[in-house]
Amino acid sequence: MTIQEVEQKVKEITAKVLKKNPAQIQANMRFVEDLGADSLKSLELVAAYDEGFEIEMDEDQALDVKNVGDAIRFIEKYVSK
């Protein structure tokens, strides 16, 4: 899976969970401040990324990820193993 494919899928999953238009999600957008994710939505995002990418991320590390670009890079490490 390329970094571009990871990026596309992260944006799609983020849009679905947070009920946003995927075309409007940018890598520099912060989950809480820009996309309105509360703590429950943040946990839903981690679960959705796990399921969507068929990986099991470290939840504490995943919850430290603050923006879409960081999530893309974080998940890319898991899928490239």
Average pLDDT, 10 consecutive residues per value, the chain (81 residues)? 95 97 96 95 95 92 93 92 67
Give 18-34 as a DSSP string.
Answer: HT--GGG--TT-BTTTT
The rounded distance, in Å, linking the Cα atoms of 52 and 47 is: 8
Q: How many CB atoms lie within 10 A of CB 63?
A: 15
pLDDT at residue 80 in the model: 80
CATH number, domain of 13, equals 1.10.1200.10
pLDDT at residue 73 in the model: 95
pLDDT at residue 59 in the model: 84
Total number of domains in the chain: 1
**Host domain of residue 75:** 3-79
pLDDT at residue 81 in the model: 67
